[in-house]
């Protein structure tokens, strides 16, 4: 579904690969349990120059920051093609966040489209302030979900089966693949069992790949608060999965 200017979404929006990466990142973090709060992850190293002027810490800007910066400047001057390229770059990121929240593909497509429509109308209000534009898009999507839901609490509405079915590495064949799927299912169920803020923090950090600063912007918290939230989430997962060989 497009966002009313002709651009379309396709496939599973990279959900399979993202789920695989999500599970791998969680396993690494759980193996380091006590050090989870220090992980910043999420973006490549693109420090200095215009990235520094945009407010990013060294290494905090996305790898293609210069290209995105140029496209944003063009889009803010009314260049529809530039906005279309930004859309293509970030639509999968937004869709995956929405899909995990709402659980239905059609609703996820609709909210994703509305997110970019609102962003298009508000492009002149965007300023970098030390965060990738992905965090801005996700904040818009998050507000739309809250407007459409009975509760603002974060809930992982997507089923673990849907997420695992999207993982191209898991095939219902040999015994080891079946066991891997069961372990993955247990891990995802444990994430869904976290307190709402903890689950959202884990999704933003390890499924979306947002930095601590970006996650803090989306959640409306300080970076220190997000570090503590992440640490509590990882410790809760570690306790829940103590008997599981991940």
Q: Which two tokens stand for residue 44?
A: 């490549």
Q: Which domain holds residue 228?
A: 15-240
Quote the pLDDT of residue 36. Answer: 41
Cβ atoms of 160 and 207 closer than 8 Å = no
CB atoms near residue 64 (< 10 Å):
13
Which is more confident, 62 or 223? 223
Task: Give pLDDT, residue 146.
Answer: 87
Percent of the chain at pLDDT exceeding 90: 41
pLDDT in tens, 64-122: 778 888 999 999 999 999 999 999 999 999 999 999 988 888 999 999 999 999 999 99
Q: 116 is written with which tokens?
A: 């970019």
Q: What is the CATH number of the domain that holds 144?
A: 1.10.1740.10
Judge contact between 154 and 197, C-beta under 8 A: yes
**What is the secondary structure of 86-144 as a DSSP string?**
HHHHHHHHHHHHHHHHH--HHHHHHHHHHHHHHHHHTGGG---TTS-HHHHHHHHHHHH
Q: Say whether pLDDT at 24 is over 60.
A: yes
The pLDDT, as a whole number, for residue 174 is 56
Residue 190 maps to a domain: yes
pTM of the model: 0.77
Pairwise pLDDT comparison (54 vs 183), residue with the higher score = 183
Domain total of the chain:
1
Token pair belonging to 16: 């399979």
Q: Does 27 reside within a domain?
A: yes
């Amino acid at each position: 579904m497009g966002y009313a200017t002709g651009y379309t979404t396709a496939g599973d929006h990279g959900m399979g690969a993202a789920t695989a990466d999500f599970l791998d990142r969680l396993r690494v973090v759980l193996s380091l349990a006590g050090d989870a709060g220090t992980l910043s992850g999420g973006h490549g190293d693109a420090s200095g120059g215009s990235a520094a002027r945009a407010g990013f810490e060294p290494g905090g800007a996305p790898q293609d920051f210069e290209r995105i910066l140029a496209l944003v400047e063009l889009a803010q001057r009314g260049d529809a093609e530039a906005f279309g390229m930004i859309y293509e770059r970030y639509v999968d990121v937004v869709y995956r966040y929405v899909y995990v929240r709402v659980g239905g593909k059609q609703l996820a497509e609709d909210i994703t489209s509305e997110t970019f429509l609102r962003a298009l109308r508000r492009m002149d209000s965007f300023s970098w302030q030390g965060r990738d534009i992905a965090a801005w898009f996700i904040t818009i999507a998050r507000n739309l979900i809250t407007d459409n839901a009975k509760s603002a609490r974060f809930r992982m509405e997507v089923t673990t089966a849907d997420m695992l079915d999207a993982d191209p590495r898991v095939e219902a064949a040999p015994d080891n693949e079946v066991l891997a799927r069961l372990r993955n299912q247990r891990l995802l169920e444990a994430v869904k069992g976290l307190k709402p803020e903890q689950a959202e923090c884990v999704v933003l950090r390890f499924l979306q790949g947002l930095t601590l600063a970006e996650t803090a912007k989306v959640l409306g918290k300080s970076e220190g608060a997000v570090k503590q939230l992440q640490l509590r989430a990882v410790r809760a997962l570690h306790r829940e999965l103590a008997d599981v060989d991940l």
